[in-house]
Amino acid sequence: MPTTNKDSQYYMGNKHLPNARWKGEYTKEQVAMLKKARRNILYFAENFFHIINLDSGKEKIKLYPAQKTALRAMRDNRYYILLASRQIGKSTLMTIYLLWQACFKSDQRILLVANKEATAIEIFQRVRMAYEELPNWLKPPVKEYAKTSMTLENGSRIGITTTTGTAARGQSVNCLVIDECAFIESHLVDEFWKSVFPIISSSKKSKVFICSTANGTHNLFHKLYTGAVNGHNGWGHGKIMWNEVPGRDEQWAASTKQAIGSHEAWMQEFNCEFVNSGESSIDDDLFEIMERQICEPAIVLDDGAYKIWEEADPSRIYVAGVDTSEGVGKDSSIVQILDITDPVDIRQVAVYRSNMISPLEFSNKVHSILRNYGNPLALIERNNCGAQVVDRLAVDLGYPKIVSYGNSAAHRKNRMQGMIAHTNTKHKGVLNMRYWINDCKALTLKDKKTLHELRHFVRYPNGTWKARHGENDDLVMALLYSLYVLDNDIAEKYFDINEVDLTGRPKVISSMDFGVSLFEDPTSIYTDNEVVGDSNHNLNPCFFGMDSSQQSDDMSDLEMNGYAPLY
């Protein structure tokens, strides 16, 4: 007669789930391995624990050093908290420990907690799969086996719940595992912790394990982790960084940063940084480095408004970022000049800053400064009164190198030039600026006020970046615009890109020929009378008191001394 379910040695007929009627013969080798697996969690994991590899399917796990360290810490600490990069197997580490404890210790109550029910069920499915893949002679038989819990014949039980205010209330637990603790909704955190923490207090041996990726600073996970690091709460702690996973190198990091598209996301998800609102655009260490590079300018003009650290060199490539204000004593009108000849060594060479100059007068000032640096590419915000500066330069003064970006349809329809700033372009500009400053550490600032504003340029809760309350960001925005020229969308139009870095951004560039670059002595504009007006730039050169031969000789002498016709 066929074996009935009542007589079966397997739960629901599944040969991977032995029940209380299962009987098997043990070899000496199996007995030795069983004893060793009970004593050594690493031996248990590497010889018997299976995972699903996305590329190769089901396989035994191969622990790397950081994972082994974490498992030992879980074994040796009653309270342990793990901060980890994305996709390092942190949830798998938790399932290894709880399955090991359930199999080799009797009458254990193990509770797995996740921030969402679907997440808890998905993790528990890994536990079930790993249990089923254990050889029958190694694991205790099954008594109950459900979607959200399993009970073994040795009296141990594994269950799951979510992070609600009443989670696990009234239960006694030997091992509490909380996954992705940093992502518990803020309004649930206090009630949740009041609910779950007392359940382990009834036993002096009960354990709590918490793991998560970072998610800002105003949450329970950050509080517990920083308390552990500072030695304030008695918790054991660990951290697994992205580069501790085999196969992850700088090239992998570069491609991941490019794919994720956000410096903040990279720092939080992979670099274990607690990024939060109020976070400065540069960290403490980088600020200290940049602070040491601040120095006094070589030339100061316009009663301190125009500061020059490096005079123009015709062999170098310069760019300008321009931000315009109303000139009524509040926000400042800014010109930032950068030397980008070597994109991995960008230098701030000049800054103009005034909060009392009108937009019309500022247009002439911008034109003069740009001529000092050989008519470089200029990215000028045209929003509000910035439009006066852009149109004056483009139409009246015929400036040839104004970058147009931000709204292609409007540019085509209205023939508008300059930078049209809106939420998307500003966000992209901030990411680009933070890449060159934070990731590449390519920028050398010389101006103390620019660094001060950068220090107080912070991320707000809604994800936007702007000046901290009571501070300004005019210098930062002009800096952002000047660095925007190195964004691929713009750089490819205006430079020959000879080599790119690992993220595909320009690494080696050379300038294209967009016309004659005229470099003027910056001090000359304060000693000579400038010709201003709507059309004076169209005046042809005039020669007085000379015949044609004298004109030719004089012009030759002037040209030999580096002079050229103004237009």
Listing DSSP states for 313-369 in one string gives -TTS-EEEEEE---SSSSS-EEEEEEE-SSTTSEEEEEEEEESS--HHHHHHHHHHH
Neighbouring C-beta atoms of residue 158, cutoff 10 Å: 25
Question: Do 399 and 371 meet the contact criterion of CB atoms below 8 Å apart?
Answer: no
Q: Identify residue 410 by its one-letter amino acid code.
A: A
The vertex-175 CA angle with 170 and 44, nearest 5°, equals 155
Annotate 28-57 with three-state secondary structure: HHHHHHHHHHHHCHHHHHHHHCEEEECCCE
Residue 57 confidence (pLDDT): 82
In DSSP notation, 57-98 reads: EEEE----HHHHHHHHHHHH-SEEEEEE-TTS-HHHHHHHHH
DSSP code, position 15: T
The whole-angstrom separation of Cα 312 and Cα 519 is 7
Q: Give the residue among 370, 407, 381 at the shortest CA–CA distance from 477.
A: 381
Neighbouring C-beta atoms of residue 461, cutoff 10 Å: 10
pLDDT band at 542 (very low <50, low <70, confident <90, very high): very low
Q: Could you give the 3-state DSSP secondary structure of residue 416?
A: coil
- Which CATH number applies to 11-250: 3.30.460.10, 3.40.50.300, 2.60.120.260, 1.10.569.10? 3.40.50.300
Query: 246: which 2 tokens?
Result: 């085999």
Residues 325-351: what's their mean pLDDT? 95
Query: 314: which 2 tokens?
Result: 């015709």
Pick the range with the lowest mean pLDDT from 264-278, 338-352, 469-483. Answer: 264-278
φ/ψ of residue 2, rounded to 5: -65, 150
pLDDT band at 514 (very low <50, low <70, confident <90, very high): low
Burial (0-12, 13-18, 19+ Cβ within 10 Å), 530: exposed
Write b or e for each residue in 4-34: b if 16 or more Cβ atoms lie within 10 A of its Cβ, otherwise e.
eeeebbbbeeeebbbbeebeeeeeeeeeebb
Q: Which residues, including other chains, have CB under 8 Å from residue 37's CB and lie 6 or more apart? A: 43, 44, 47, 48, 104, 138
Q: Which residues, including other chains, have CB under 8 Å from residue 187's CB and lie 6 or more apart? A: none
pLDDT band at 201 (very low <50, low <70, confident <90, very high): low
Neighbouring C-beta atoms of residue 515, cutoff 10 Å: 8
What separation in angstroms does the CA of 523 have from each of 243, 279, 307? 52, 40, 11
Write b or e for each residue in 366-391: b if 16 or more Cβ atoms lie within 10 A of its Cβ, otherwise e.
bbbbbbbbbbbbbbbbbeebbbbbbb
Domain limits, the chain = 11-250, 284-511
Q: Identify residue 166 by its one-letter amino acid code.
A: T
What separation in angstroms does the CA of 209 have from each of 37, 60, 187, 333? 21, 23, 22, 54
Residue 536 confidence (pLDDT): 40
Residues found in the chain: 567
Residue 340 confidence (pLDDT): 96
Residues 36-55: what's their mean pLDDT? 91
Residue 292 confidence (pLDDT): 95
Chain centroid, CA 539 distance in Å: 52
Residues 336-346: what's their mean pLDDT? 96
Q: Give the residue among 335, 374, 323 at the shortest CA–CA distance from 522.
A: 374
- In CATH, what number does 284-511 get? 3.30.420.240
- Reply yes or no on whether the pLDDT at 373 is more than 90: yes
Residue 371 confidence (pLDDT): 93
Residues 158-174: what's their mean pLDDT? 69
Question: Do 319 and 338 meet the contact criterion of CB atoms below 8 Å apart?
Answer: yes
Pick the range with the lowest mean pLDDT from 10-24, 53-67, 456-470. Answer: 456-470
Q: Identify residue 459 by its one-letter amino acid code.
A: R
Question: Do 333 and 319 meet the contact criterion of CB atoms below 8 Å apart?
Answer: no
Question: Do 52 and 129 meet the contact criterion of CB atoms below 8 Å apart?
Answer: yes
The whole-angstrom separation of Cα 418 and Cα 324 is 12
pLDDT band at 522 (very low <50, low <70, confident <90, very high): low
Residues 99-107: what's their mean pLDDT? 93
Tell me: the pLDDT tens digits for 270-312? 988 886 555 677 877 888 899 999 999 999 999 999 999 999 9
Residues 327-356: what's their mean pLDDT? 95
The vertex-155 CA angle with 160 and 145, nearest 5°, equals 50
What separation in angstroms does the CA of 560 have from each of 4, 458, 496, 546, 557? 108, 52, 30, 19, 5
Strand-pair partners of 354: 333
Neighbouring C-beta atoms of residue 452, cutoff 10 Å: 16
Pick the range with the lowest mean pLDDT from 65-69, 420-424, 513-517. Answer: 513-517
Residue 425 confidence (pLDDT): 82
pLDDT band at 513 (very low <50, low <70, confident <90, very high): low
Q: Where are the alpha helices (DSSP H) in 438-484?
A: 448-455, 474-484
Residue 365 confidence (pLDDT): 95
Residues 164-184: what's their mean pLDDT? 73
Rounded to the nearest integer, the mean pLDDT of the chain is 84
Question: Do 190 and 158 meet the contact criterion of CB atoms below 8 Å apart?
Answer: no
Biggest distance spanned by C-alpha atoms of the chain: 129
Residue 443 confidence (pLDDT): 96
The vertex-378 CA angle with 371 and 346, nearest 5°, equals 95
Residue 351 confidence (pLDDT): 98
Edge-to-edge order in the sheet of strand 236-240 = 142-145, 149-152, 157-162, 109-114, 175-179, 207-212, 79-84, 236-240
Residue that is written with structure tokens 């500072």 in the block? 230
Pick the range with the lowest mean pLDDT from 153-157, 189-193, 203-207, 303-307. Answer: 189-193
57 torsion bin: left (phi>0), alpha (psi -120 to 50), beta (else): left
Residue 537 confidence (pLDDT): 40
- Reply yes or no on whether the pLDDT at 546 is more than 90: no
Q: Give the residue among 376, 392, 383, 387 at the shortest CA–CA distance from 421.
A: 383
